[in-house]
């Protein structure tokens, strides 16, 4: 009689027995078409929309102009990623919803993001990691920030056939209503409900 443990059907062992990782085979055809089972996966991504951002950048070139505002003080022999590549990677990842620099560690080999930065997905090296991105953000000076602000202004003015005589800036806060005992949740007299001060954002409209 077999031991009790051997009679237990484990999900992991069953999956490996039926469909090992390197398993590739064919099942019954459907309407004369071959159906293959392949568990290798290959280079896949869930952020293919970044390619549209890349097409937009190729038209307006705003990231490349922002990159030119930054003086690269790094040692040339130690540079792997250019400032333009770092800026493109960082801005695209933020646009995709990955605002944390730590996300660079898991997305640096994403095939779609690599293509958007101008890298081949399989043969070129990975994109920058979190420490490299953090060093980029910390090395930008106040003067360079001013130059970058002028790039945004020039881009805004270029959207008009003639520069406007007056630009009106409307600043407005956006409340984040909370439900439950969340941290930093306080009653706001203006919104007449509980909001969190940690995520309330200030937005500017033109």
State pLDDT tens for residues 135-178. 999 999 999 999 999 999 999 888 889 888 888 888 877 766 76
pLDDT of residue 189: 59
The answer to whether the predicted template modeling score (pTM) of the entire model surpasses 0.85 is no
Task: Please indicate, yes or no, whether residues 184 and 127 belong to a single structural domain of this protein.
Answer: no
Task: Please indicate, yes or no, whether residues 122 and 183 belong to a single structural domain of this protein.
Answer: no
How many CB atoms sit inside 10 A of residue 111's CB? 17
pLDDT-flagged residues of the chain (< 50):
4-17, 19, 21, 198
Task: Please indicate, yes or no, whether residues 54 and 153 belong to a single structural domain of this protein.
Answer: yes
pLDDT of residue 194: 66
Among the listed residues 125, 59, 142, the one whose alpha carbon sits nearest the alpha carbon of residue 89: 125
Domain that holds residue 88: 50-158
Task: Please indicate, yes or no, whether residues 126 and 54 belong to a single structural domain of this protein.
Answer: yes
Contacts of 142 (CB under 8 A, 6+ apart): none
Provide the domain count of the chain.
3
Helix (H) / strand (E) element for 202: namely strand 201-205
Task: Please indicate, yes or no, whether residues 132 and 191 belong to a single structural domain of this protein.
Answer: no
pLDDT of residue 180: 67
Task: Please indicate, yes or no, whether residues 12 and 109 belong to a single structural domain of this protein.
Answer: no
Task: Please indicate, yes or no, whether residues 148 and 66 belong to a single structural domain of this protein.
Answer: yes
Q: For 75-103, give one letter per residue: b (16+ CB within 10 A) or e.
A: eeeeeebebbbbbbbbbbbeebebeebeb
pLDDT of residue 34: 82
pLDDT of residue 9: 44
Among the listed residues 105, 129, 124, the one whose alpha carbon sits nearest the alpha carbon of residue 114: 124
pLDDT of residue 195: 65
Cα gap 10→45, rounded to integer Å: 31
Task: Please indicate, yes or no, whether residues 151 and 122 belong to a single structural domain of this protein.
Answer: yes
Cα gap 134→112, rounded to integer Å: 22
Task: Please indicate, yes or no, whether residues 9 and 87 belong to a single structural domain of this protein.
Answer: no
């Amino acid at each position: 009689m077999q031991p009790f443990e051997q009679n237990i059907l484990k999900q992991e062992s069953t999956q490996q027995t039926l469909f090992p990782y390197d398993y590739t085979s064919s099942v019954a055809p459907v309407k004369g078409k071959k159906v293959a089972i392949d568990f290798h996966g290959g280079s896949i991504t869930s952020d293919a929309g970044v390619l549209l951002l890349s097409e937009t950048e190729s038209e307006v070139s705003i990231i490349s102009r922002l990159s030119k505002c930054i003086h690269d003080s790094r040692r040339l022999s130690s540079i792997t990623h250019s400032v333009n590549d770092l800026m493109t990677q960082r801005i695209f990842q933020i646009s995709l919803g990955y605002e944390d620099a730590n996300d660079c560690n898991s997305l640096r080999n994403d095939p779609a993001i690599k293509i958007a930065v101008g890298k081949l997905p399989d043969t070129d090296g990975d994109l920058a990691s979190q420490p490299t991105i953090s060093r980029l953000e910390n090395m930008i000076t106040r003067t360079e920030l001013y130059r970058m602000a002028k790039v945004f202004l020039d881009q805004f003015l270029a959207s008009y056939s003639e520069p406007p005589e007056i630009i009106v800036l409307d600043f407005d806060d956006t409340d984040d209503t909370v439900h439950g005992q969340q941290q930093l949740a306080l009653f706001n007299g203006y919104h007449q409900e509980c909001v969190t001060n940690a995520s309330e954002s200030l937005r500017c409209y033109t």
